Amino acid sequence: MIVCIAEKPSVARDIADVLGAREKKDGYIEGNGYQVTWTFGHLCTLKEPHEYSPSWKAWSLSSLPMIPPRFGIKLIDNPTYEKQFRVIERLMQQADLIINCGDAGQEGELIQRWVMQKAGASCPVKRLWISSLTEEAIREGFAKLRDAADFQSLYEAGLSRAIGDWLLGMNATRLYTLKYGQRRQVLSIGRVQTPTLALIVNRQLEIQNFVPKQSWELRTVYRDTTFTAVVRKSDEDLAAEEEKRKATGGQPAADRPNPGIDPITDREKGEALLERIRPLPFTVTDIQKKQGKEAPPRLFDLTSLQVECNRKFGYSADDTLKTIQSLYEKKVTTYPRVDTTFLSDDIYPKCPGILQGLREYERWTAPLLGKSLPKSKKVFDNSKVTDHHAIIPTGQPATNLTDMERRVFDLVARRFVAAFYPDCKYASTAVMGQAGDILFKATGRQIMEPGWRVLFAQAADESEEKGGETEAERALPAFVRGESGPHEPSLNEKWTQPPKPYTEATLLRAMETAGKLVENDELRDALKENGIGRPSTRAAIIETLFKRNYIRKERKSLIATATGVELIGLIREELLKSAELTGLWEKKLREIERRTYDAARFLEELKQMVTEIVHTVLSDNTNRRVTVEAVSAARKPAPDAVAAPKKPVRKRAPRKAAQTAAPQQSPSSPPVPAADELVGKPCPLCGKGVIIKGRTAYGCSEWRNGCQYRKLF
Tell me the β-bridge partners of 222.
225
Question: How many angstroms separate the CA atoms of 350 and 396, rounded?
Answer: 13
- DSSP H helices in 253-316: 267-277, 302-313
Residue type, 697: A
Q: Please write down the HEC assignment for all residues of 692-709.
A: EECCCEEEECCHHHCCCC
Residue 436: CB atoms within 10 Å: 14
Q: Which of 176, 315, 335, 361 is catalytic?
A: 335
Looking at residue 185, what DSSP letter applies?
-
Q: Please write down the HEC assignment for all residues of 395-420.
A: CCCCCCCCHHHHHHHHHHHHHHHHCC
Best CA proximity match to 619, nearest among 64, 56, 59: 64
Round to the nearest angstrom and report the end-to-end CA distance of the chain: 55
Is 709 one of the annotated active-site residues of the chain? no
HSE, CB side, 13 Å, CA atoms: give it for residue 221: 5
Residue 363: CB atoms within 10 Å: 10
Cα angle 100, 41, 597 (rounded to 5 degrees) comes to 65
SS3 19: helix
Residue type, 25: K
Measured over the CA atoms of residue 190, residue 175, residue 631 and residue 625, the dihedral's sign is negative
352: enclosing H helix or E strand: helix 351-357
Q: How far is CA 74 from the centre of its chain?
A: 30
Alpha-carbon dihedral of residues 354, 359, 360, 364, nearest 10 degrees? 70
Measured over the CA atoms of residue 487, residue 491, residue 492 and residue 495, the dihedral's sign is positive
SS3 560: strand
Best CA proximity match to 398, nearest among 389, 408, 388: 408
> Strand pairing of 73-75 and 97-101?
unpaired
SS3 439: strand
Residue 469: CB atoms within 10 Å: 12
Q: Considering all CA atoms of the chain, what is the largest pairwise distance in Å, rounded to the nearest integer?
A: 97
Residue type, 107: E
Angle, helices 579-593/152-180, rounded to nearest 10 degrees? 150
* Residues 6+ away with beta carbon under 8 Å from 272: none
SS3 216: strand
SS3 22: coil
Measured over the CA atoms of residue 580, residue 521, residue 446 and residue 478, the dihedral's sign is positive
Q: Under a CB-based contact definition with an 8 Å cutoff, are residues 579 and 515 in contact? A: yes
Cα angle 90, 94, 96 (rounded to 5 degrees) comes to 140
Residue type, 408: V
What positions carry a catalytic annotation?
Answer: 335
